[in-house]
Amino acid sequence: MCDFKVTGSLFILYFFFTSILIAQHGDPQNRRVGNLDANQIKTIFTNTGVIAQPGTEGPRFGWIYPHNGYAGDMSIVLGLQLPIKDYWRGELPPDGIPDTIHSVIITPVDRPGGGEGNNGVSYTFEPLPGYFNPNLNEMGRGVAISTDLESWPNLWPDHPEYGTGVWNGLYGPDNFVGDQEALFVIDDFNDLENNLINRFYPDTTNTAITGHGIEVKVRYVELNNPTYQDILFKIYDIKNNSQHNYSKMVFGNLTGTYVGVEDPEWNDDVSLYYPKDNLIVTSDFDSY
């Protein structure tokens, strides 16, 4: 018999397509760590789009108790199809045959198969500057959190008109949709793979702009309400800042289930898929 408590997260996606390329871009130097603990889900996360890491700095998607971890890592993936045309293939020039190329943008999550390129460069989403207080260096307070005014930037890059000391809310200045919110922005400027191999660029007039031109504003929301106390809401506002129209795009979530977290407790995890409900449930067997 397997007893389990259902906890989880809910995605809310917004897709916007624009043709405005921004001057600021993501960089590994902007990586910061934050902590969420307003309801029964207590977890560390980074402003790269990864939840439950780094495990050395806080709880790994803990439920009720910080040490009662449920995940080793949670991160996003975004796949798209490049415009169909005749591309370079490394050192091989275009051959007159149109190519269909798919690319998947990931985060710098600590797990096998990551997006590491040449010389240790991370071909992944990376955080933009300006969405955190660069002078705050305390553990777990590196990301802008609605309940921690000191963690906010002086001005928000996307809404400088809000002024100082105003929260960048989902529906406007000082609009709070939860008891605790985290906010950051990432882009794929660092994902050079298709730039180097296929000579594809989001701006055909400026090869200094790399990646695919994808930007994501990420907002995590926790509500300390009996109805929602076991849920972490994750809201993704996805923008295409390139000059291209990507006709096919998919969005997904990669979760490393880790019920119990510490070895050997996680070795008896089990995941069940319910096709009718399109639902995956992970739990832990006792006495194994």
In whole angstroms, what is the distance from residue 65 CA to residue 197 CA? 47
Strands 214-222 and 180-187: antiparallel
How many structural domains comprise the chain?
1
Pick the more confident residue, 287 or 196.
Answer: 196
Pair 108, 117: CB distance under 8 Å: no
Domain that holds residue 45: 8-152+180-284
Mean of pLDDT values over 167-193: 98
69 found inside a domain: yes
In a 13 Å sphere around the CA of 11, the CA atoms on its Cβ side amount to 15
168 found inside a domain: no
Confidence of residue 16 (pLDDT cuts 50, 70, 90): low
In whole angstroms, what is the distance from residue 208 CA to residue 189 CA? 10
For tokens 């991370």, the residue is 122
**Which pLDDT score, from 0 to 100, does residue 287 have?**
58
Whether 132 shows a pLDDT value over 60: the answer reads yes
Mean pLDDT of the chain: 90
In whole angstroms, what is the distance from residue 215 CA to residue 183 CA? 14
Confidence of residue 138 (pLDDT cuts 50, 70, 90): very high
Give tens-digit pLDDT for 59-118: 999 999 998 899 999 999 999 999 999 999 999 999 999 999 999 999 999 987 666 666
Confidence of residue 267 (pLDDT cuts 50, 70, 90): confident
164 found inside a domain: no
DSSP code string of 50-103: EES--GGGS-SSEESSTTSB-EEEEEEEEEEEPPSB---BTTBPP-SS-B--EE
Mean of pLDDT values over 172-190: 98
135 found inside a domain: yes
- At 132, give phi and psi (nearest 5°): -160, 165
Q: pTM, whole model, 2 decimals?
A: 0.90
**Which pLDDT score, from 0 to 100, does residue 263 have?**
61
**Which pLDDT score, from 0 to 100, does residue 23 have?**
65
254 found inside a domain: yes
126 found inside a domain: yes
**Which pLDDT score, from 0 to 100, does residue 224 have?**
97
Mean of pLDDT values over 247-266: 84
166 found inside a domain: no
170 found inside a domain: no
